[in-house]
A and B are shown apart, each in its own frame.
Chain A
Protein backbone atom coordinates (compact mmCIF):
# COMPACT_ATOMS: atom_id res chain seq x y z
CA UNK A 1 0.00 0.00 0.00
CA UNK A 2 1.23 3.49 -0.82
CA UNK A 3 2.35 5.34 2.31
CA UNK A 4 0.26 8.39 3.16
CA UNK A 5 3.42 10.44 3.60
CA UNK A 6 6.93 9.70 2.49
CA UNK A 7 9.94 11.98 2.65
CA UNK A 8 13.48 11.25 1.54
CA UNK A 9 16.33 13.41 2.76
CA UNK A 10 13.91 16.30 3.17
CA UNK A 11 15.87 19.38 4.14
CA UNK A 12 14.90 22.99 4.58
CA UNK A 13 17.50 25.53 5.61
CA UNK A 14 16.63 29.06 6.61
CA UNK A 15 19.73 31.24 6.73
CA UNK A 16 20.87 30.96 10.31
CA UNK A 17 17.62 29.75 11.76
CA UNK A 18 17.18 26.00 11.87
CA UNK A 19 14.78 24.34 9.48
CA UNK A 20 14.79 20.58 9.11
CA UNK A 21 17.68 18.38 8.12
CA UNK A 22 17.59 15.16 6.15
CA UNK A 23 14.20 13.94 7.33
CA UNK A 24 13.27 10.44 6.15
CA UNK A 25 9.75 9.84 7.30
CA UNK A 26 7.26 7.19 6.26
CA UNK A 27 3.70 7.35 7.52
CA UNK A 28 1.72 4.28 6.53
CA UNK A 29 -1.87 4.77 5.46
CA UNK A 30 -4.66 3.96 7.88
CA UNK A 31 -3.05 5.01 11.12
CA UNK A 32 -3.00 7.93 13.51
CA UNK A 33 0.53 9.23 13.53
CA UNK A 34 1.81 11.63 16.17
CA UNK A 35 4.55 14.00 15.12
CA UNK A 36 6.16 14.99 18.36
CA UNK A 37 8.78 17.50 19.26
CA UNK A 38 9.42 20.57 21.33
CA UNK A 39 8.45 23.98 20.02
CA UNK A 40 10.72 25.05 17.21
CA UNK A 41 11.85 21.51 16.44
CA UNK A 42 10.69 21.70 12.82
CA UNK A 43 7.19 20.21 12.99
CA UNK A 44 5.44 23.06 11.22
CA UNK A 45 8.29 23.38 8.73
CA UNK A 46 7.88 19.72 7.80
CA UNK A 47 4.12 20.09 7.49
CA UNK A 48 4.34 23.24 5.36
CA UNK A 49 6.78 21.43 3.07
CA UNK A 50 4.27 18.61 2.68
CA UNK A 51 1.65 21.18 1.67
CA UNK A 52 3.98 22.90 -0.80
CA UNK A 53 3.62 26.19 1.06
CA UNK A 54 7.39 26.26 1.29
CA UNK A 55 9.90 24.47 -0.94
CA UNK A 56 12.67 22.16 0.23
CA UNK A 57 16.35 23.05 0.02
CA UNK A 58 16.93 19.43 -0.94
CA UNK A 59 15.25 16.05 -0.74
CA UNK A 60 11.77 15.13 -1.81
CA UNK A 61 8.38 14.41 -0.39
CA UNK A 62 5.28 12.65 -1.56
CA UNK A 63 1.79 12.62 -0.15
CA UNK A 64 -0.65 9.83 -1.05
CA UNK A 65 1.93 8.66 -3.55
CA UNK A 66 2.05 11.98 -5.39
CA UNK A 67 4.80 14.59 -5.60
CA UNK A 68 4.00 17.46 -3.23
CA UNK A 69 4.87 20.16 -5.73
CA UNK A 70 3.95 18.71 -9.10
CA UNK A 71 0.65 17.17 -7.99
CA UNK A 72 -0.37 19.74 -5.42
CA UNK A 73 -3.92 20.25 -6.65
CA UNK A 74 -4.63 16.53 -6.80
CA UNK A 75 -3.19 16.16 -3.29
CA UNK A 76 -5.19 19.09 -1.92
CA UNK A 77 -8.41 17.49 -3.12
CA UNK A 78 -7.69 14.60 -0.77
CA UNK A 79 -5.97 16.29 2.16
CA UNK A 80 -7.51 18.22 5.04
CA UNK A 81 -5.23 20.60 6.91
CA UNK A 82 -5.46 22.60 10.10
CA UNK A 83 -2.47 24.94 10.44
CA UNK A 84 -0.72 25.44 13.76
CA UNK A 85 -1.30 29.15 13.81
CA UNK A 86 -4.84 28.85 12.54
CA UNK A 87 -5.99 32.06 10.96
CA UNK A 88 -9.33 32.35 9.20
CA UNK A 89 -11.23 35.15 7.50
CA UNK A 90 -12.52 36.92 10.60
CA UNK A 91 -15.14 38.95 8.78
CA UNK A 92 -17.01 35.81 7.71
CA UNK A 93 -19.31 33.73 9.87
CA UNK A 94 -18.51 30.06 10.38
CA UNK A 95 -21.21 29.17 7.86
CA UNK A 96 -19.84 31.56 5.25
CA UNK A 97 -16.27 30.40 5.69
CA UNK A 98 -17.24 26.74 5.42
CA UNK A 99 -19.32 27.53 2.33
CA UNK A 100 -16.39 29.35 0.74
CA UNK A 101 -13.97 26.53 1.44
CA UNK A 102 -16.50 23.96 0.24
CA UNK A 103 -16.78 25.89 -3.02
CA UNK A 104 -13.02 25.85 -3.41
CA UNK A 105 -13.02 22.13 -2.72
CA UNK A 106 -15.72 21.53 -5.30
CA UNK A 107 -18.03 19.14 -3.54
CA UNK A 108 -18.74 18.67 0.14
CA UNK A 109 -21.34 16.49 1.82
CA UNK A 110 -23.49 19.14 3.53
CA UNK A 111 -25.14 16.63 5.87
CA UNK A 112 -21.78 15.41 7.07
CA UNK A 113 -20.61 18.99 7.55
CA UNK A 114 -23.69 19.79 9.64
CA UNK A 115 -23.14 16.69 11.74
CA UNK A 116 -19.57 17.81 12.42
CA UNK A 117 -20.80 21.26 13.44
CA UNK A 118 -23.22 19.62 15.83
CA UNK A 119 -20.73 17.20 17.29
CA UNK A 120 -18.15 19.88 17.96
CA UNK A 121 -20.87 22.21 19.29
CA UNK A 122 -19.85 25.01 16.96
CA UNK A 123 -22.07 28.05 16.55
CA UNK A 124 -21.66 28.69 12.82
CA UNK A 125 -23.72 31.89 12.77
CA UNK A 126 -21.12 33.93 14.61
CA UNK A 127 -18.42 35.93 12.91
CA UNK A 128 -15.09 34.19 13.24
CA UNK A 129 -13.35 37.23 14.66
CA UNK A 130 -15.74 37.15 17.62
CA UNK A 131 -14.92 33.52 18.43
CA UNK A 132 -12.58 32.34 21.17
CA UNK A 133 -9.44 30.45 20.20
CA UNK A 134 -11.06 27.10 20.92
CA UNK A 135 -14.13 27.92 18.85
CA UNK A 136 -11.99 29.12 15.97
CA UNK A 137 -10.15 25.84 16.20
CA UNK A 138 -13.48 24.03 15.83
CA UNK A 139 -14.15 25.89 12.58
CA UNK A 140 -10.73 24.79 11.35
CA UNK A 141 -11.43 21.19 12.32
CA UNK A 142 -14.82 21.14 10.59
CA UNK A 143 -13.19 22.65 7.48
CA UNK A 144 -10.57 19.91 7.47
CA UNK A 145 -12.86 16.97 8.27
CA UNK A 146 -15.83 17.99 6.10
CA UNK A 147 -14.10 17.06 2.87
CA UNK A 148 -13.61 13.49 4.18
CA UNK A 149 -9.95 13.59 3.26
CA UNK A 150 -7.77 10.53 2.80
CA UNK A 151 -5.14 12.30 4.87
CA UNK A 152 -5.65 14.78 7.67
CA UNK A 153 -2.69 16.95 8.56
CA UNK A 154 -3.33 18.61 11.88
CA UNK A 155 -0.70 20.95 13.30
CA UNK A 156 -1.21 21.21 17.08
CA UNK A 157 -4.96 20.77 16.59
CA UNK A 158 -6.07 20.58 20.19
CA UNK A 159 -4.80 23.98 21.31
CA UNK A 160 -7.56 25.79 23.13
CA UNK A 161 -10.14 23.00 22.92
CA UNK A 162 -12.10 22.24 26.05
CA UNK A 163 -12.02 18.63 27.31
CA UNK A 164 -15.40 17.69 25.84
CA UNK A 165 -14.49 18.92 22.38
CA UNK A 166 -11.08 17.33 22.68
CA UNK A 167 -12.78 13.99 23.29
CA UNK A 168 -15.07 14.47 20.31
CA UNK A 169 -12.06 15.41 18.23
CA UNK A 170 -10.38 12.16 19.24
CA UNK A 171 -13.48 10.20 18.23
CA UNK A 172 -13.37 11.91 14.84
CA UNK A 173 -9.74 10.94 14.38
CA UNK A 174 -10.47 7.35 15.36
CA UNK A 175 -13.43 7.17 13.00
CA UNK A 176 -11.26 8.48 10.20
CA UNK A 177 -8.65 5.82 10.90
CA UNK A 178 -11.29 3.10 11.13
CA UNK A 179 -12.45 4.12 7.65
CA UNK A 180 -8.91 3.56 6.42
CA UNK A 181 -7.92 7.19 6.33
CA UNK A 182 -4.72 8.57 7.80
CA UNK A 183 -4.36 11.19 10.51
CA UNK A 184 -1.09 13.04 11.00
CA UNK A 185 -1.05 15.10 14.21
CA UNK A 186 1.75 17.25 15.43
CA UNK A 187 2.08 18.07 19.09
CA UNK A 188 4.63 19.17 21.63
CA UNK A 189 2.79 17.40 24.41
CA UNK A 190 2.91 13.64 24.62
CA UNK A 191 -0.02 13.27 27.06
CA UNK A 192 -2.24 15.08 24.57
CA UNK A 193 -1.81 12.48 21.87
CA UNK A 194 -0.43 9.37 23.52
CA UNK A 195 -3.77 7.61 23.87
CA UNK A 196 -4.76 8.60 20.35
CA UNK A 197 -1.75 7.73 18.24
CA UNK A 198 -0.68 4.36 16.96
CA UNK A 199 2.80 5.48 16.20
CA UNK A 200 4.88 8.56 16.82
CA UNK A 201 7.79 10.25 15.13
CA UNK A 202 10.05 12.34 17.29
CA UNK A 203 11.69 15.41 15.84
CA UNK A 204 14.19 17.55 17.64
CA UNK A 205 16.32 20.40 16.39
CA UNK A 206 15.26 19.70 12.84
CA UNK A 207 16.18 16.03 12.83
CA UNK A 208 13.85 13.07 12.97
CA UNK A 209 15.23 11.07 15.87
CA UNK A 210 13.00 8.03 15.92
CA UNK A 211 9.72 6.57 14.83
CA UNK A 212 8.24 4.29 17.42
CA UNK A 213 5.09 2.52 18.38
CA UNK A 214 3.36 4.51 21.06
CA UNK A 215 3.32 1.46 23.31
CA UNK A 216 7.11 1.30 23.28
CA UNK A 217 7.48 4.98 24.03
CA UNK A 218 5.01 4.90 26.86
CA UNK A 219 6.87 2.01 28.39
CA UNK A 220 9.80 4.31 28.67
CA UNK A 221 8.00 7.28 30.03
CA UNK A 222 9.74 8.98 32.90
CA UNK A 223 7.84 9.51 36.09
CA UNK A 224 8.84 11.52 39.09
CA UNK A 225 7.63 9.93 42.31
CA UNK A 226 7.43 11.27 45.79
CA UNK A 227 6.40 8.84 48.56
CA UNK A 228 5.74 9.95 52.13
CA UNK A 229 6.13 7.18 54.71
CA UNK A 230 4.90 7.05 58.28
CA UNK A 231 8.46 6.74 59.56
CA UNK A 232 12.06 6.72 58.38
CA UNK A 233 12.92 4.17 55.69
CA UNK A 234 16.26 2.81 54.54
CA UNK A 235 17.34 4.09 51.13
CA UNK A 236 19.22 0.88 50.38
CA UNK A 237 15.94 -1.04 50.10
CA UNK A 238 15.01 1.04 47.04
CA UNK A 239 18.41 1.67 45.54
CA UNK A 240 18.71 -1.43 43.42
CA UNK A 241 15.19 -1.46 41.99
CA UNK A 242 14.89 -1.56 38.18
CA UNK A 243 14.39 1.83 36.53
CA UNK A 244 14.85 3.84 39.71
CA UNK A 245 17.15 6.84 39.39
CA UNK A 246 18.05 10.01 41.25
CA UNK A 247 17.00 8.39 44.53
CA UNK A 248 16.87 10.60 47.60
CA UNK A 249 15.44 9.42 50.93
CA UNK A 250 15.22 11.88 53.80
CA UNK A 251 13.03 11.96 56.92
CA UNK A 252 10.63 9.32 55.67
CA UNK A 253 10.22 10.97 52.27
CA UNK A 254 11.43 9.28 49.13
CA UNK A 255 12.00 11.12 45.89
CA UNK A 256 13.13 9.49 42.67
CA UNK A 257 12.69 9.25 38.94
CA UNK A 258 11.40 6.01 37.48
CA UNK A 259 12.01 4.88 33.95
CA UNK A 260 9.40 2.51 32.60
CA UNK A 261 7.33 0.43 35.00
CA UNK A 262 6.83 1.66 38.56
CA UNK A 263 5.59 -1.76 39.67
CA UNK A 264 8.71 -2.84 41.57
CA UNK A 265 8.98 0.43 43.42
CA UNK A 266 5.34 0.42 44.49
CA UNK A 267 5.51 -3.18 45.71
CA UNK A 268 8.63 -2.40 47.73
CA UNK A 269 7.08 0.74 49.16
CA UNK A 270 4.02 -1.26 50.16
CA UNK A 271 6.09 -3.05 52.81
CA UNK A 272 6.07 0.19 54.80
CA UNK A 273 3.25 2.39 55.95
CA UNK A 274 2.60 4.88 53.16
CA UNK A 275 0.93 8.22 53.88
CA UNK A 276 0.94 9.76 50.45
CA UNK A 277 2.18 9.33 46.91
CA UNK A 278 2.73 12.00 44.29
CA UNK A 279 3.42 10.94 40.74
CA UNK A 280 4.34 13.46 38.08
CA UNK A 281 4.60 12.27 34.52
CA UNK A 282 7.42 14.15 32.93
CA UNK A 283 6.92 16.27 29.89
CA UNK A 284 7.91 15.11 26.47
CA UNK A 285 10.82 17.51 26.58
CA UNK A 286 12.19 15.68 29.60
CA UNK A 287 11.81 12.34 27.88
CA UNK A 288 13.71 13.78 24.95
CA UNK A 289 16.43 14.92 27.31
CA UNK A 290 16.63 11.53 28.94
CA UNK A 291 16.58 9.42 25.79
CA UNK A 292 17.95 11.60 23.07
CA UNK A 293 20.49 13.75 24.88
CA UNK A 294 20.48 17.47 25.36
CA UNK A 295 23.03 18.50 22.77
CA UNK A 296 22.26 19.17 19.13
CA UNK A 297 23.10 16.79 16.34
CA UNK A 298 22.42 13.53 18.13
CA UNK A 299 24.00 10.64 16.27
CA UNK A 300 21.69 7.86 15.16
CA UNK A 301 23.90 5.36 16.98
CA UNK A 302 23.44 7.14 20.24
CA UNK A 303 19.71 7.09 19.68
CA UNK A 304 19.71 3.38 19.10
CA UNK A 305 21.83 2.83 22.18
CA UNK A 306 19.53 4.90 24.26
CA UNK A 307 16.50 3.03 22.97
CA UNK A 308 18.20 -0.25 23.61
CA UNK A 309 19.26 0.68 27.11
CA UNK A 310 15.76 1.73 27.92
CA UNK A 311 14.05 -1.31 26.51
Chain B
Protein backbone atom coordinates (compact mmCIF):
# COMPACT_ATOMS: atom_id res chain seq x y z
CA UNK B 1 0.00 0.00 0.00
CA UNK B 2 1.48 3.30 -1.11
CA UNK B 3 0.18 5.29 1.83
CA UNK B 4 1.87 3.38 4.63
CA UNK B 5 4.28 6.16 5.52
CA UNK B 6 5.82 9.39 4.25
CA UNK B 7 8.31 7.48 2.07
CA UNK B 8 5.57 5.42 0.43
CA UNK B 9 3.39 8.49 -0.11
CA UNK B 10 6.31 10.30 -1.72
CA UNK B 11 7.02 7.33 -3.98
CA UNK B 12 3.37 7.42 -4.95
CA UNK B 13 3.59 11.16 -5.70
CA UNK B 14 6.68 10.53 -7.83
CA UNK B 15 5.39 7.56 -9.77
CA UNK B 16 4.41 9.48 -12.90
CA UNK B 17 7.33 11.92 -12.98
CA UNK B 18 9.67 8.95 -12.51
CA UNK B 19 7.92 7.04 -15.27
CA UNK B 20 8.29 9.90 -17.76
CA UNK B 21 11.87 10.74 -16.82
CA UNK B 22 12.85 7.07 -17.09
CA UNK B 23 11.07 6.66 -20.38
CA UNK B 24 12.55 9.87 -21.76
CA UNK B 25 16.13 9.06 -20.79
CA UNK B 26 15.71 5.44 -21.84
CA UNK B 27 14.19 6.27 -25.21
CA UNK B 28 16.86 8.87 -25.94
CA UNK B 29 19.61 6.39 -25.12
CA UNK B 30 17.99 3.61 -27.14
CA UNK B 31 17.65 6.01 -30.06
CA UNK B 32 21.37 6.75 -30.08
CA UNK B 33 22.27 3.11 -29.54
CA UNK B 34 20.09 1.96 -32.43
CA UNK B 35 21.22 4.66 -34.84
CA UNK B 36 24.88 4.51 -33.88
CA UNK B 37 25.97 2.34 -36.84
CA UNK B 38 24.32 4.72 -39.32
CA UNK B 39 25.90 7.75 -37.66
CA UNK B 40 29.35 6.30 -37.74
CA UNK B 41 28.96 5.36 -41.39
CA UNK B 42 27.76 8.82 -42.36
CA UNK B 43 30.21 10.90 -40.38
CA UNK B 44 33.70 10.45 -39.15
CA UNK B 45 32.86 11.95 -35.79
CA UNK B 46 36.35 11.76 -34.38
CA UNK B 47 37.83 13.91 -37.10
CA UNK B 48 34.91 16.31 -36.85
CA UNK B 49 35.56 16.73 -33.15
CA UNK B 50 39.21 17.28 -33.85
CA UNK B 51 38.41 20.06 -36.26
CA UNK B 52 36.15 21.72 -33.72
CA UNK B 53 39.10 21.78 -31.37
CA UNK B 54 38.43 23.60 -28.09
CA UNK B 55 34.76 24.12 -28.96
CA UNK B 56 34.24 20.38 -28.63
CA UNK B 57 35.30 20.65 -25.01
CA UNK B 58 32.36 22.92 -24.33
CA UNK B 59 30.05 20.20 -25.54
CA UNK B 60 31.72 17.83 -23.15
CA UNK B 61 33.17 15.78 -25.93
CA UNK B 62 36.67 16.02 -24.59
CA UNK B 63 37.13 12.39 -23.80
CA UNK B 64 34.73 10.40 -25.85
CA UNK B 65 35.88 8.14 -28.61
CA UNK B 66 33.14 8.41 -31.20
CA UNK B 67 34.16 5.26 -33.03
CA UNK B 68 32.62 3.06 -30.32
CA UNK B 69 29.04 3.11 -29.09
CA UNK B 70 30.04 3.72 -25.50
CA UNK B 71 32.20 6.67 -26.53
CA UNK B 72 29.41 7.94 -28.72
CA UNK B 73 26.96 7.77 -25.80
CA UNK B 74 29.48 9.63 -23.70
CA UNK B 75 29.66 12.50 -26.18
CA UNK B 76 25.98 12.65 -26.99
CA UNK B 77 24.37 11.95 -23.62
CA UNK B 78 26.56 11.36 -20.59
CA UNK B 79 28.64 14.52 -20.89
CA UNK B 80 25.80 17.00 -20.64
CA UNK B 81 22.19 16.04 -21.31
CA UNK B 82 21.84 13.16 -18.88
CA UNK B 83 23.57 14.71 -15.85
CA UNK B 84 21.75 18.00 -16.41
CA UNK B 85 18.48 16.13 -16.77
CA UNK B 86 19.01 13.91 -13.76
CA UNK B 87 20.17 16.84 -11.61
CA UNK B 88 17.22 18.99 -12.70
CA UNK B 89 14.83 16.14 -11.92
CA UNK B 90 16.28 15.49 -8.46
CA UNK B 91 16.64 19.19 -7.66
CA UNK B 92 13.18 20.05 -8.89
CA UNK B 93 11.53 17.26 -6.94
CA UNK B 94 13.57 17.77 -3.77
CA UNK B 95 12.87 21.51 -3.75
CA UNK B 96 9.20 20.71 -3.28
CA UNK B 97 9.53 18.12 -0.53
CA UNK B 98 8.92 20.41 2.41
CA UNK B 99 8.65 23.79 0.70
CA UNK B 100 5.84 22.40 -1.44
CA UNK B 101 3.98 21.11 1.61
CA UNK B 102 4.51 24.46 3.26
CA UNK B 103 3.17 26.49 0.36
CA UNK B 104 0.23 24.13 -0.07
CA UNK B 105 -0.34 24.26 3.66
CA UNK B 106 -0.39 20.48 4.11
CA UNK B 107 2.62 20.54 6.42
CA UNK B 108 0.44 21.59 9.37
CA UNK B 109 -1.66 18.45 9.22
CA UNK B 110 1.29 16.17 8.42
CA UNK B 111 3.32 17.37 11.40
CA UNK B 112 0.38 17.19 13.77
CA UNK B 113 0.78 13.43 13.54
CA UNK B 114 3.56 11.71 15.46
CA UNK B 115 6.34 11.96 12.92
CA UNK B 116 9.46 14.03 13.43
CA UNK B 117 10.54 16.72 11.03
CA UNK B 118 13.84 14.90 10.48
CA UNK B 119 11.97 11.78 9.49
CA UNK B 120 9.79 13.64 7.02
CA UNK B 121 12.86 15.00 5.23
CA UNK B 122 14.72 11.67 5.25
CA UNK B 123 11.80 9.54 4.11
CA UNK B 124 11.06 11.92 1.27
CA UNK B 125 14.74 11.91 0.39
CA UNK B 126 14.75 8.14 0.13
CA UNK B 127 11.93 8.39 -2.39
CA UNK B 128 13.95 10.58 -4.77
CA UNK B 129 16.91 8.19 -4.37
CA UNK B 130 14.66 5.35 -5.43
CA UNK B 131 13.29 7.36 -8.36
CA UNK B 132 16.79 8.15 -9.66
CA UNK B 133 17.87 4.52 -9.34
CA UNK B 134 14.77 3.39 -11.21
CA UNK B 135 15.49 5.89 -14.00
CA UNK B 136 19.08 4.64 -14.21
CA UNK B 137 18.03 0.98 -14.36
CA UNK B 138 15.50 1.72 -17.10
CA UNK B 139 18.15 3.66 -18.98
CA UNK B 140 20.56 0.72 -18.72
CA UNK B 141 17.96 -1.71 -20.05
CA UNK B 142 17.05 0.57 -22.97
CA UNK B 143 20.71 1.16 -23.83
CA UNK B 144 21.56 -2.53 -23.79
CA UNK B 145 18.41 -3.28 -25.78
CA UNK B 146 19.24 -0.58 -28.33
CA UNK B 147 22.79 -1.87 -28.68
CA UNK B 148 21.47 -5.39 -29.27
CA UNK B 149 19.16 -4.12 -32.02
CA UNK B 150 21.99 -2.33 -33.82
CA UNK B 151 24.40 -5.18 -33.04
CA UNK B 152 26.85 -2.73 -31.47
CA UNK B 153 29.14 -3.66 -28.63
CA UNK B 154 28.17 -2.02 -25.32
CA UNK B 155 29.85 -3.24 -22.12
CA UNK B 156 27.10 -3.41 -19.50
CA UNK B 157 29.41 -3.10 -16.51
CA UNK B 158 31.00 0.16 -17.63
CA UNK B 159 27.62 1.55 -18.61
CA UNK B 160 26.45 0.65 -15.11
CA UNK B 161 29.45 2.43 -13.61
CA UNK B 162 28.57 5.59 -15.55
CA UNK B 163 24.97 5.29 -14.40
CA UNK B 164 26.10 5.05 -10.77
CA UNK B 165 27.94 8.33 -11.26
CA UNK B 166 24.90 9.77 -13.02
CA UNK B 167 22.66 8.93 -10.06
CA UNK B 168 25.24 10.29 -7.64
CA UNK B 169 25.62 13.66 -9.37
CA UNK B 170 21.85 13.94 -9.70
CA UNK B 171 21.39 13.28 -6.00
CA UNK B 172 24.19 15.68 -5.06
CA UNK B 173 22.38 18.54 -6.82
CA UNK B 174 19.14 17.23 -5.38
CA UNK B 175 20.56 17.47 -1.86
CA UNK B 176 21.78 21.02 -2.48
CA UNK B 177 18.33 21.99 -3.67
CA UNK B 178 16.75 20.23 -0.69
CA UNK B 179 18.97 22.07 1.76
CA UNK B 180 18.10 25.45 0.26
CA UNK B 181 14.39 24.68 0.20
CA UNK B 182 14.21 23.33 3.76
CA UNK B 183 16.28 26.22 5.09
CA UNK B 184 14.26 28.92 3.35
CA UNK B 185 10.91 27.37 2.53
CA UNK B 186 11.36 28.96 -0.89
CA UNK B 187 11.04 26.46 -3.70
CA UNK B 188 11.86 28.89 -6.49
CA UNK B 189 15.09 29.97 -4.82
CA UNK B 190 16.11 26.35 -4.33
CA UNK B 191 15.61 25.47 -8.00
CA UNK B 192 17.13 28.71 -9.28
CA UNK B 193 20.27 28.60 -7.19
CA UNK B 194 20.80 24.90 -7.86
CA UNK B 195 20.43 25.23 -11.62
CA UNK B 196 22.75 28.25 -11.65
CA UNK B 197 25.28 26.25 -9.66
CA UNK B 198 24.93 23.35 -12.05
CA UNK B 199 25.61 25.54 -15.11
CA UNK B 200 28.62 27.21 -13.49
CA UNK B 201 30.06 23.89 -12.35
CA UNK B 202 29.55 22.41 -15.77
CA UNK B 203 31.30 25.29 -17.51
CA UNK B 204 34.18 25.27 -15.02
CA UNK B 205 34.74 21.57 -15.65
CA UNK B 206 34.29 21.71 -19.42
CA UNK B 207 36.46 24.78 -19.91
CA UNK B 208 39.17 23.93 -17.42
CA UNK B 209 40.98 21.94 -20.11
CA UNK B 210 41.27 24.98 -22.38
CA UNK B 211 41.25 27.92 -19.99
CA UNK B 212 44.34 27.88 -17.80
CA UNK B 213 43.00 29.68 -14.72
CA UNK B 214 40.07 27.33 -14.32
CA UNK B 215 42.17 24.29 -13.53
CA UNK B 216 42.72 25.52 -9.98
CA UNK B 217 39.01 25.76 -9.21
CA UNK B 218 38.07 22.64 -11.11
CA UNK B 219 38.04 20.52 -7.92
CA UNK B 220 35.08 22.62 -6.74
CA UNK B 221 33.01 21.46 -9.67
CA UNK B 222 30.98 18.30 -9.06
CA UNK B 223 31.35 17.51 -12.75
CA UNK B 224 35.05 16.93 -12.15
CA UNK B 225 34.11 13.88 -10.06
CA UNK B 226 31.20 12.80 -12.24
CA UNK B 227 33.05 11.91 -15.47
CA UNK B 228 36.50 13.07 -14.48
CA UNK B 229 37.89 9.57 -14.57
CA UNK B 230 35.70 8.44 -17.47
CA UNK B 231 33.81 5.52 -15.92
CA UNK B 232 32.57 4.55 -19.38
CA UNK B 233 36.15 3.61 -20.20
CA UNK B 234 37.75 2.93 -16.83
CA UNK B 235 34.87 1.65 -14.72
CA UNK B 236 33.83 3.03 -11.37
CA UNK B 237 36.25 5.32 -9.54
CA UNK B 238 35.33 4.83 -5.89
CA UNK B 239 37.12 7.98 -4.79
CA UNK B 240 35.12 10.17 -7.15
CA UNK B 241 31.93 8.36 -6.20
CA UNK B 242 32.71 8.96 -2.54
CA UNK B 243 33.16 12.69 -3.13
CA UNK B 244 29.73 12.98 -4.75
CA UNK B 245 28.14 10.82 -2.05
CA UNK B 246 29.90 12.86 0.63
CA UNK B 247 28.60 16.15 -0.78
CA UNK B 248 25.12 14.63 -0.82
CA UNK B 249 25.34 13.53 2.80
CA UNK B 250 26.63 16.93 3.94
CA UNK B 251 23.77 18.80 2.29
CA UNK B 252 21.27 16.22 3.50
CA UNK B 253 22.43 16.81 7.07
CA UNK B 254 22.18 20.57 6.53
CA UNK B 255 18.68 20.10 5.12
CA UNK B 256 17.52 18.04 8.10
CA UNK B 257 19.01 20.42 10.66
CA UNK B 258 17.72 23.55 8.92
CA UNK B 259 14.20 22.17 8.65
CA UNK B 260 14.17 21.13 12.28
CA UNK B 261 14.97 24.64 13.48
CA UNK B 262 12.69 26.69 11.33
CA UNK B 263 9.32 28.31 11.86
CA UNK B 264 7.13 26.68 9.26
CA UNK B 265 4.99 28.80 7.00
CA UNK B 266 1.32 28.87 7.85
The segment from A26-34, A49-57, A157-165, A178-186 that touches chain B is A49-57
A121 within 8 A of B: no
CB–CB A53/B264 < 8 A: yes
Give complex CA distance A72, B110 in Å. 13
CB–CB B108/A101 < 8 A: no
CB–CB A104/B116 < 8 A: no
For chain A, which range describes its interface: under 10, 10 to 19, 20 to 34, or 35 or more residues?
Answer: 20 to 34
CB–CB A101/B109 < 8 A: yes
Give complex CA distance A89, B4 in Å. 15
CB–CB B104/A87 < 8 A: yes
A283 within 8 A of B: no
B96-118: which have CB < 8 Å to A? Answer: 104-116
Q: Which residue of B lies closest to A90 (CB)?
A: B104
A48-79 vs B, CB cutoff 8 Å, 1 = contact: the mask equals 10011111000000000000000011101101
Q: What's the nearest-Cβ distance from chain B to residue A227, in Å? A: 46
B1-26: which have CB < 8 Å to A? Answer: 1, 3-6, 9, 13
Q: Which residue of B lies closest to A155 (CB)?
A: B108
A3 within 8 A of B: no
Q: Which residue of B lies closest to A153 (CB)?
A: B112
CB–CB B266/A101 < 8 A: no
Instruction: Tell whether A106 pairs with B114 under 8 Å between CB atoms, given A87-B105, A100-B9.
Output: yes
CB–CB B264/A88 < 8 A: no
A279 within 8 A of B: no
Instruction: Tell whether A76 pairs with B109 under 8 Å between CB atoms, given A54-B263, A103-B3.
Output: no
Give complex CA distance A54, B115 in Å. 16
CB–CB B263/A85 < 8 A: no
Chain B residues near A167 (CB, 8 Å)?
A: none
CB–CB A104/B5 < 8 A: yes
- Selected from B5, B109, B116, the residue in CB contact (under 8 A) with A87 is B109
Chain B residues near A39 (CB, 8 Å)?
A: none
Instruction: Tell whether A73 pairs with B116 under 8 Å between CB atoms, given A83-B105, A103-B4.
Output: yes
For chain B, which range describes its interface: under 10, 10 to 19, 20 to 34, or 35 or more residues?
Answer: 20 to 34
Chain A residues near B114 (CB, 8 Å)?
A: 73-74, 76-77, 104-106
Chain A residues near B112 (CB, 8 Å)?
A: 51, 76, 79-81, 83
Give complex CA distance A190, B163 in Å. 63
Chain A residues near B113 (CB, 8 Å)?
A: 76, 101, 104-105
Chain A residues near B264 (CB, 8 Å)?
A: 48, 53-54
- Selected from B3, B263, B266, the residue in CB contact (under 8 A) with A96 is B3
A143 within 8 A of B: yes
Q: What's the nearest-Cβ distance from chain B to residue A268, in Å? A: 50
CB–CB A81/B109 < 8 A: yes
CB–CB A143/B105 < 8 A: no
CB–CB A85/B266 < 8 A: yes
A99 within 8 A of B: yes
Question: Considering residues A87, A91, A101, which has the most beta carbons from chain B within 10 angstroms of its beta carbon?
Answer: A87
Give complex CA distance A74, B113 in Å. 10
CB–CB A85/B105 < 8 A: yes
CB–CB A104/B105 < 8 A: no
CB–CB B6/A48 < 8 A: no
Q: Which residue of B lies closest to A45 (CB)?
A: B266
Q: Which residue of B lies closest to A85 (CB)?
A: B105
Give complex CA distance A238, B171 in Å. 79
A140 within 8 A of B: yes
CB–CB B106/A87 < 8 A: yes
CB–CB A88/B116 < 8 A: no
6 CB-based A-B contacts, threshold 8 Å: A48-B264, A52-B111, A55-B263, A76-B115, A87-B104, A87-B105
User: What 9 pairs between A and B have smallest CB-CB spacing?
Assistant: A87-B105, A81-B112, A104-B113, A54-B263, A100-B3, A83-B108, A76-B114, A73-B114, A77-B114
Further pairs besides A52-B111, A73-B115, A85-B105: 5, Cβ < 8 Å: A44-B266, A53-B266, A86-B105, A87-B109, A103-B4
